Structure 1
């Protein structure tokens, strides 16, 4: 018989007492639960904002790095071009100095235009391409 009493005792439901203390505890639990939900929502929104800011900052830094590397490459190309232009300018300045020399002009005119001084005879010899190609190999 004692087994039957235990089974029946377990089946009985306990009714809660509806007094002010129990109601205040229930209200406090609901308030804590609502506060926890609001806190989780705020943390989720804050996490999302931080994630988006991190992505934006990362993409900005990546784009700026690409721009900087492109500009560095353009700068190197411009420096090489500047170096070539300076070499060409130096050559042209040297040529200007040579062209201001009358002896050089006379020599250049005789060479390129087959001009001669008085009493001078110019003989032209045909240039054979094969002989011109063999001469550098003989020097080696």
Structure 2
């Protein structure tokens, strides 16, 4: 494996682009998990104290009555960020939007089931099932073909 650095002044301040060969997808996932475990986000715990959690631990994010909740395998947290802010922060790190109120960590998707009326049902590793709306069905299309 070769590592190559290229300067690109057109990229944003915090952007890093990693290109990989399609045949090395397992290596890409391992690298994502390694880097992702170093990236954390601020949340509020049940006692309303700020805490930082790794983005790799987040299974999905839900916008309920204008408040965002982040769900891990064992806990749920309230986010001080809006849904739009979280979507912008996480869309480039394997989080996909599956309906108007839900973002899912693609790495935690266990299966995708095709339902009538062009809908999809995503099952994440914890067993939780989330509905993909018709307007977001293309966001999971690449997972069905795997």
* TM-score bracket for this pair, using the shorter chain length: under 0.3
TM-score by length of 2: 0.16
**More contact order relative to length (CA 8 Å, sep ≥ 6):** 2
Q: Which structure has more strand as a fraction of its residues?
A: 2
Max Rg structure? 1
Q: Which structure has more helix as a fraction of its residues?
A: 1
